[in-house]
């Protein structure tokens, strides 16, 4: 299990992330590092003093007999957090909403997208405190972006004895390709095919079995974001694991929808994402 760091700018919206990180650290016998971002020195409008949040976090950790290492960084959270993540890319970095005003989100977009674009380490975005994660949903696309997030999700499932579902969404396809026909004809045993998607699902099932986890596969059809959100609402997992579009070194992430950000920003469930690394 990776070292755990959690981030706050003092806003109450970041408290679920601290709760989650503390429970996770206690459950996996890990120490916890809290990075508090003081945005007042950056001239950030509406910046919130940190002492009360730090005291609250310390009290929570004492309840778990959990060692807490805390530090204060000055600047804007969207800049500070990626810098700290990139200094420890092998760790797990937990964060939540930063409580930005609606107008700012409308103009600049949500903070998580900016952080996700710059941070190379695994991110666990916690908009709601859902603990323990008894059901973990791992999204598999067949391109390979999900490999690192899948591994982390299976490691967590093994530690926490959670059930795992591998979800894949087959988008609408109007092109008459043999690969498309093979996927459509083998929906019930897709993981047994030699298609990229079949190999990805087979890898996930094999890695789950190696950890003693009984994983299942669920296939949906339709627009990817819409279908993932529908799956979350119906299955109600406590954690979703997804690859990062920034795993790609091509221009793909500039013109394709950021599916991971859309799911995370829905605020329904915690989302674990990580870039693919060899």
List per-residue pLDDT tens for the chain, 278 residues long.
578 999 999 999 999 999 999 999 999 988 899 999 998 865 555 556 788 899 999 999 999 999 899 999 999 999 999 999 999 999 999 999 998 866 665 566 678 999 999 999 999 999 999 999 999 999 998 777 899 999 999 999 999 999 999 999 987 765 455 555 556 655 666 777 878 888 999 999 999 999 999 899 999 988 999 999 999 999 999 999 999 988 765 545 444 568 999 999 999 999 999 998 76
DSSP 14: G
Q: Give me the residue label for tokens 């939540």.
A: 96
Could you tell me the two tokens for 226?
Answer: 């819409």
Could you tell me the two tokens for 131?
Answer: 């603990």
| Residue-level pLDDT at 251 | 47
CATH topology of domain 135-274: Rossmann fold (3.40.50)
Check: CB of residue 90 under 8 Å from CB of residue 2.
yes
Cα-based distances in Å from 117 to 1, 53, 76, 245, 273: 24, 27, 16, 9, 12
H or E element in which residue 180 lies: helix 178-185
Q: Given this chain, do its domains 4-125 and 135-274 carry the same CATH topology?
A: yes
Per CATH, is 4-125 categorized as 3.40.50.620?
yes
Angle between helices 77-87 and 111-118 (to 10 degrees): 30
Could you tell me the two tokens for 205?
Answer: 């099932």
Annotated domain spans of the chain: 4-125, 135-274
Check: CB of residue 130 under 8 Å from CB of residue 238.
yes
DSSP 274: E
| Residue-level pLDDT at 135 | 97
Whole-structure pTM value: 0.89
Could you tell me the two tokens for 107?
Answer: 């103009």
Q: Give me the residue label for tokens 């929808």.
A: 257
Cα-based distances in Å from 256 to 116, 209, 251, 274: 15, 33, 9, 18
Q: What beta strand segments (E) does 200-259 contain?
A: 215-221, 239-243
| Residue-level pLDDT at 57 | 95
């Amino acid at each position: 299990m990776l070292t755990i760091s959690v981030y706050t700018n003092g806003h109450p919206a970041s408290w679920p992330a601290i709760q989650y990180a503390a429970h996770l650290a206690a459950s996996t016998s890990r120490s916890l590092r809290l990075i508090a971002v003081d945005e007042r020195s950056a001239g950030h409008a509406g910046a919130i003093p940190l002492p009360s949040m730090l005291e609250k976090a310390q009290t929570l950790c004492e309840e778990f007999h959990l060692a807490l290492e805390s530090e204060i960084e000055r600047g804007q959270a969207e800049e500070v957090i990626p810098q700290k993540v990139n200094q420890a890319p092998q760790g797990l970095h937990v964060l939540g909403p930063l409580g930005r005003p609606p107008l700012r989100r409308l103009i600049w977009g949500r903070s998580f997208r900016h952080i996700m674009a710059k941070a190379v380490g695994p991110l666990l975005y916690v908009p709601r405190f859902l603990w323990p994660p008894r059901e973990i949903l791992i999204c598999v696309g067949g391109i390979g972006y999900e490999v690192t997030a899948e591994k982390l999700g299976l490691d967590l499932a093994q530690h926490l004895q959670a059930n795992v579902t591998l979800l894949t969404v087959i988008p609408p396809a109007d092109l008459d390709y043999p690969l498309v026909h093979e996927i459509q004809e083998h929906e019930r045993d897709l993981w047994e095919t030699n298609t990229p998607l079949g190999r990805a699902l087979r890898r996930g099932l094999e890695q789950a079995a190696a950890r003693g986890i009984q994983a299942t596969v669920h296939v949906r059809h339709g627009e990817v974001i819409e279908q993932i959100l529908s799956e979350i609402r119906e299955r109600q997992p406590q954690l979703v694991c997804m690859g990062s579009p920034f795993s790609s070194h091509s221009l793909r992430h500039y013109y394709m929808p950021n599916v991971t950000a859309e799911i995370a920003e829905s605020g329904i469930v915690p989302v674990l994402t990580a870039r693919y690394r060899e």
